[in-house]
Amino acid sequence: MNNLLEGKRGIIFGALDENSIAWKVALKAHEQGAKFVLSNAPVALRMGEIKNLADHCNTIVIAADATSVQDLEKLVQESMAHLGGKLDFVLHSIGMSPNVRKGKTYTDVNYEWMNKTFDISAFSLHKTLQTCMKLDAISEWGSVVALSYIAAQKAFPGYGDMADAKATLESIVRSFGYYYGNEKKVRVNSISQSPTMTTAGSGIKGFDSFFGFADKMSPLGNAPADACANFCVSLFSDLTKYITMQNIYHDGGFSNMGVSEAVMNLFEEKEKL
């Protein structure tokens, strides 16, 4: 389908490099006729790659640390000024755990870092939503999408304190979704995405086996980043107007599996040896 996002304005957070889920969303949203501003933390902008994406999408980059309400207010105001009106969509594709990055296991976390994990990976969604609501920055039927992972529901060793942050993120989706829906008819959802080869993904210990296991468990295989981007576009579009307060699995069926024949076969081969 073409021009699904014609006339829509948005903010896309989290494009770091061409592997980022947000990078692919920006490409697809541009293809579908959307106008948007790109944003990332000042430290991420120093890496410079996002400028190439902005040139391709004919837009600008505005730095904002998503844990800073002041930065977010400035970003939202400047974005509306640049785009010429209120927003129709926001992509929150932000996550980072200093504990996971620095190899601290779940039973030996540094609590200052854990606060950062929550602030960056979960509270930043609340801060973004609250800022947008106070500035009345999102049009009716607008759509906010955040990225999550199934470690919010089930135990995944190695995902560390990010699991708790994702559970909080999904809770904010429900809680804020209620208020924003009631007051302004704005939708808030999260997409629980398959393991994906990105900077955030590969920061997780044992990510390759993690990725391979999920792929073998899922009847459709792991959902690639491109497919995730398409799904984001559909959630920004008017075709999904009545979906809100949901965490939707985009994972090739993984979340409903107990075990797959492909995984059992791996053990059977071992037994034969």
Ligand X SMILES: NC(=O)c1ccc[n+]([C@@H]2O[C@H](COP(=O)([O-])OP(=O)(O)OC[C@H]3O[C@@H](n4cnc5c(N)ncnc54)[C@H](O)[C@@H]3O)[C@@H](O)[C@H]2O)c1
Q: Give the interface with ligand X as residue ranges (CB under 6 A).
A: 13-14, 16, 20-22, 40-41, 44, 65-67, 93-96, 120, 147-149, 193, 195-196, 198-201
For residue 174, give both structure tokens: 């429900």
Smallest separation (angstroms) from ligand X to the CB of 185:
25
Q: How far is Cα 9 from Cα 11, in angstroms, rounded to an integer?
A: 7
Choose the catalytic residue: 106, 111, 149, 180: 149
CB-nearer residue toward ligand X: 33 or 206: 206
Measure CA 83 to chain center.
Answer: 22
Smallest separation (angstroms) from ligand X to the CB of 3:
26
Smallest separation (angstroms) from ligand X to the CB of 10:
16
CB-nearer residue toward ligand X: 141 or 167: 167
Smallest separation (angstroms) from ligand X to the CB of 101:
10
Q: How far is Cα 79 from Cα 13, in angstroms, rounded to an integer?
A: 12
Choose the catalytic residue: 106, 111, 159, 249: 159
For residue 225, give both structure tokens: 């980043």
CB-nearer residue toward ligand X: 193 or 237: 193
User: Could you give the C-alpha distances from 245 to 9, 121, 124, 260, in angstroms and in order?
Assistant: 21, 18, 17, 30
User: Catalytic annotation on 180?
Assistant: no
Strand order in the sheet with 138-148: 61-63, 35-40, 9-13, 87-92, 138-148, 187-193, 247-250
Length of the chain: 273
CB-nearer residue toward ligand X: 143 or 273: 143
User: Catalytic annotation on 178?
Assistant: no
Helices (H), the chain: 21-31, 42-45, 49-56, 69-83, 98-101, 111-118, 124-134, 162-184, 199-202, 207-217, 225-236, 261-272
Q: List the catalytic residues.
A: 149, 159
